[in-house]
Structure 1
Amino acid sequence: MKPVLYHCADARSFRVLWMLEELELDYELKLLPFPPRLLEPGFLEINPLGTIPFYQEGAVRMTESPAIVQYLATRHGGGRLEIGRDEPGFGDYLNALSYGEATLTFPQTLVLRYSRLEPAERRVPQVAEDYARWYRARLRGLAALLEQRDYVAGGRFTAADISVGYALLLARTLRLDRDYPPQIAAYWERLEQRDGYRRARAAQGTDGDFAA
């Protein structure tokens, strides 16, 4: 049975979709409205958390996008899209997998919530502005990494770049991508040009429900 990915366009599940396309795996994509816990009848029976992504492969059930891309890299990648424990850059690789989510994506989710997703009477512009500044400040770490390299770990494209790359995609959606340092702008351009990224964009067929 082929793997199944429950996905909302341009949500964190895009990391998994991108990884599946990089690996050229055969999979089933279930595209849901955002947020699925409210708009997709029966989704809570499949994933009680109500969150996206939800990934099924045989008996495996996973909900955290960095963990899923690491799982796919290890199980299906043959070493192509991960850095092994004995390779230079292993620590950078693990760090960037988490950095893309915990440091770069998290503040953007608060911008998204308090500027777009909440009803007008519950929006808090100051929160959105504060966390937009937080995101931009946290880019210093990425800018420093990319001063001497093209990718975040091991001198080649890996799952860690997918983790970080999704954060840059979300920033574009939220219009937080203005005035990037040249090395980040060039990095994002390299990621966008990848065939796997382009296939993932085509597979979802639409921009996110929260795009504006």
Structure 2
Amino acid sequence: MTDPKLYTCAGSRGLRCTWAAEEAGVQIDLKLLPFPPRFAAPEYLEINPLGTVPLLIDGETRMTESCAIAHYLATRGGMSDLAVAPGERDYAEYLDFTYHADATITFPQTVYMRFALFEKDKGWAEAGEAYAKWFWKRLVKVEQRLDRREYLCADRFTVADICVGYALILAERVGLDDGVPESLKAYRTRLMARDGYRRAVEREMAGPRAI
């Protein structure tokens, strides 16, 4: 069986997938693209017409959603401690926070980045600030959940922490840290201290170019 191929850009949402693979001990064929790939590597569109990253190809399986890929890699060989199984305590919460990470938290971040960073010359700074405030307000659910908890679900580190943790890591990188509560900054520090996270970052920084 060949290793799954993961197409991504270093530090993008695909880091969730690289991180999950490292934590789960799953071998992946990491393919790094220049950012943004739809413009910097137009031939990538032949593989993924969306032009987005990440993209996972595992035999006939093709996936483009980072949180779903992270869960898939964590359970590719069967259930592991990185996932919460049906019938287990916090199963519903595991699903909820895994999906919450992208749909509710990362979404306003990406809009902020477009208006405040990538297209700031177009005079949309006020819109960017509005989305920054939206992002900060959306952190309340995670903040409350982690009150007296080290991790989000089942008293252990799971894919839900990878998915939510990435959003907090991205916040620091793109200038959105002012409104992040101190408790969530401490949570982020714990996650970034994990060997699996460090290996994932090192691998993305040192990996060969895909195209």
Same-fold call, TM cutoff 0.5: yes
Superposition pairs of residues 119-158 of structure 1, within 5 angstroms: 120=121, 122-158=122-158
Matched, 1:74 2:78: no
TM-align CA RMSD: 1.4
For residues 45-70 of structure 1, the C-alpha deviation after alignment (integer angstroms, 9 at most, x for no partner) is 00011110011111111001111111
Q: Using structure 2 for the length normalisation, give the TM-score.
A: 0.92
Instruction: Give how far 1:79 is off.
Output: 2.0
Match in the other structure for 1:2: 3
Q: Point out the more displaced range, 174-183 or 31-40.
A: 174-183
Q: What SS does the corresponding residue of 1:6 show, helix, strand or coil?
A: strand
- Contact 1:56–1:62 (8 Å) recurs in 2: yes
Shift of 1:119: 6.5
Deviations 1:144-177 (A, max 9, x none): 0011211111111000111101101110111212
What TM-score does the superposition give when structure 1 sets the normalisation length?
0.92
Partner SS, residue 76 of structure 1: coil
Q: Which residue of 2 aligns with 1:32?
A: 33
Q: How far apart, CA to CA, are the structure 2 residues paired with 1:165 and 1:87?
A: 22
Distance in 2, Cα, partners of 1:139 & 1:83: 22
| Aligned-partner Cα distance in 2 for 1:14–1:85 | 26
Separation in structure 2 between the aligned mates of residue 40 and residue 146 of structure 1, nearest angstrom: 40
Give the count of matched residue pairs.
205
Question: Within 2, Cα distance between the matches of 1:39 and 1:127?
Answer: 27
2:195 is the alignment partner of 1:200: no
In structure 2, what residue type is equivalent to 1:22?
E
**What pairs with 1:1-212 in structure 2 (closer than 5 Å)?**
1-76=2-77, 78-118=79-119, 120=121, 122-178=122-178, 180-205=180-205
The residue matched to 1:30 in structure 2 has which SS? strand
- CA–CA separation in structure 1 for the residues paired with 2:42 and 2:131: 32
Deviation at 1:126, TM superposition (A): 0.8
Uncovered stretches (5+) of structure 2, i.e. residues with no partner: 207-211
Distance 1:179 1:118, change over 3 A: closer
Shift in Å, 1:179: 5.3
Q: Percent identity?
A: 45
1:72: Cα distance to partner? 1.4
Contact preservation (8 Å) 2:21, 2:74? no
Equivalent AA in structure 1 for residue 56 of structure 2: Y
Q: Residue type of the partner of 1:28? A: D
